[in-house]
């Protein structure tokens, strides 16, 4: 039984913004951010969602918590379908989000103490001794109680991350969606935050959806990964298997493009050419065909569907070869 189950989710935004947009009919042109997104997160599992900027991964995270309206699809969380704002309001008691910019996601004129107490107050779960509870929350993420008096801008990047973790965990959620949880952190601090998240996961029985462009990081923290390109999931599978043998050409290129900290493994050739196209010019057929080294006529005319190739592996490619798996 999955904790979070997403079926055929799609988000598009109206193209015309501004005052004139207010008077235009709702059927005006829309920009598709993503569509046909289906995946599940099991209880206690960490799913890593990988993609480059423009892939739609951040919008997807927001849509999952009802912060961005969806145009199609269904979100089931904790056994209940989530469709209305009331559903999502209820969902937010047992799911939380960590934002990409830790400092900017903390209201700038409130103290850390006030920020940590806020979810408890909003959901009517504030204990009588709120200060002690706040101190406990700070302690849980490895900060001392005196941090309660500080303002967000007085925190270092790592400290702001820890406050973000504490705030996400305030209501004892079952699912935490973390958008680039280590963006902007030095590698030595990145490890601290990831270890903290992993430690809390086992202690509190959490599930994570971790969104990042950082392949090296996501490889170590995820049980399964999902690769997103230009608004489509192109490959989903167990982390170890996907990194060992990526089946989608984009996943292959992405993994090959990552610079390795070893001068003996320098790449002579180029993993992938071109840049991710604008959402306004999404290629016809397969979204990756404009950059795919293996693209053929079929790829330019027909969009592939996400199909099962081997155990627990899904790939959206006409030509992905399951034979490669059997050699394994």
Partner 1 sequence: MKPPLLEITDLSVAYQTDTGPVMALRGANLVARAGEVIGIVGESGCGKSTLAAAVMNLLPATAKVTGGAVRFLGQDILTLAPQAQRALRGTAMAMIFQDPMTAFNPVLTIGDHLVDFQHQSRAPYRAKLARARDQLALVGLSDPDVILRRYPHQLSGGMRQRVAIAAALLMNPQVLVADEPTTALDVTTEAQILHLLRNLRQTYQGTIVVISHHLGVVAELCDRVYVMYAGQVVEQAMVDDLFHAARHPYTRALLACDPASFPNLTPVLPTIPGRLPDLRDPPKGCSFAPRCALRSARCTVAPPWAQVSPSHGVLCHEVGA
Partner 2 sequence: MPWPTSPRALKALLADPMGAMGLVLVSLFVIMALAAPILAPYDPLALNVRAKLQGLSWAHWLGTDQLGRDTLSRLIFGARTALSISVTATGIAGAIGLLLGLIAGYGPRWLDAVLVLVLDSVNALPMMMLALAIITVIGPGTFTLILVVVLVSIPSYARLIRAQTLSLRRAEFILAERAIGASTPRILLRHLLPNVLGPLVIVLSMDIPVVIMLEAGLSYLNLGVKPPMPSWGNVLYDGYTSIRTSPTLVIAAGAPLVLATLGFTFLGEGLRDALDPRLASTRPR
Residues in contact with partner 2 by CB under 8 A are: 19, 21-23, 62, 65, 67, 89, 92-93, 96-97, 99-101, 104-111, 113-114, 117-119, 122-123, 130, 150-151, 153-154, 156, 167, 170-171
Residue among 99 and 229 whose Cβ is closer to partner 1: 229
Q: Does 258 bind partner 1 (CB under 8 A)?
A: yes
Q: Does 122 bind partner 1 (CB under 8 A)?
A: no
Task: For the beta carbon of residue 226, count every other beta carbon within 10 angstroms.
Answer: 25
- Structure tokens given for 212: 């990042």
Residue among 151 and 319 whose Cβ is closer to partner 2: 151
Residue among 27 and 53 whose Cβ is closer to partner 1: 53
Pairwise CA distance, residues 188 & 175, whole Å: 26
Q: Does 280 bind partner 1 (CB under 8 A)?
A: no
DSSP code of residue 223? S
CB contact set of 161 (below 8 Å; sequence gap of 6+):
98, 102, 181, 182, 185, 189, 193
Residue among 5 and 235 whose Cβ is closer to partner 1: 235
Taking CB atoms within 8 Å and a gap of at least 24, the contacts of 286-291 are 286/316, 286/317, 286/318, 287/229, 287/230, 287/231, 287/232, 287/234, 288/229, 288/230, 288/234, 288/248, 288/249, 288/250, 288/317, 291/250, 291/253
Site for partner 1 in 216-245 (CB under 8 A): 216-217, 219-220, 239-240
Q: To the nearest whole angstrom, how small is the minimum distance from the Cβ of residue 258 to partner 1?
A: 6
Question: Residue numbers of the site for partner 1 (CB under 8 A)?
Answer: 52-53, 157, 186-192, 194-195, 198, 213, 215-217, 219-220, 239-240, 253-254, 257-267, 270-273, 275-276
């Amino acid at each position: 039984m999955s904790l979070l189950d997403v079926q055929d989710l799609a988000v598009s935004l109206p193209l015309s913004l501004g005052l004139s947009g207010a008077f235009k009919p709702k059927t005006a042109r829309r920009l598709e951010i993503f569509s046909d997104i289906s995946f599940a997160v099991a209880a206690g599992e960490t799913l890593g969602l990988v993609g480059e900027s423009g892939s739609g991964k951040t919008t997807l995270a927001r849509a999952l918590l009802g912060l961005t309206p969806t145009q199609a699809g269904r979100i089931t969380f904790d056994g209940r379908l989530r469709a209305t704002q009331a559903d999502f309001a209820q969902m937010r008691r047992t799911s939380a989000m960590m934002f990409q910019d830790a400092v900017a996601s903390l209201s700038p004129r409130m103290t850390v103490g006030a920020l940590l107490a806020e979810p408890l107050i909003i959901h009517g779960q504030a204990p009588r001794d709120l200060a002690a509870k706040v101190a406990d929350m700070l302690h849980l993420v490895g900060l001392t109680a005196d941090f309660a008096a500080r303002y967000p801008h007085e925190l270092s990047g790592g400290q702001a991350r820890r406050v973000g973790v504490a705030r996400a965990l305030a209501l004892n959620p079952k699912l935490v969606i973390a958008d680039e949880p280590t963006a902007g952190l030095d590698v030595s601090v990145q490890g601290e935050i990831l270890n903290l998240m992993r430690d809390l996961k086992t202690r509190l029985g959490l599930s994570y959806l971790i969104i990042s462009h950082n392949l090296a990081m996501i490889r170590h923290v995820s049980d399964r990964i999902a690769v997103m390109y230009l608004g489509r999931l192109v490959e989903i599978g167990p982390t170890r298997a996907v990194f060992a043998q990526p089946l989608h050409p984009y996943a292959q290129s992405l993994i090959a493009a990552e610079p390795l900290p070893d001068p003996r493994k320098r790449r002579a050739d180029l993993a992938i050419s071109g840049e991710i196209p604008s959402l306004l010019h999404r290629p016809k057929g397969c979204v990756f065909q404009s950059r795919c080294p293996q693209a053929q006529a079929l790829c330019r005319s027909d969009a592939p569907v996400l199909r099962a190739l081997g155990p627990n592996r899904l790939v959206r490619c006409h030509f992905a070869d399951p034979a490669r798996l059997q050699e394994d």
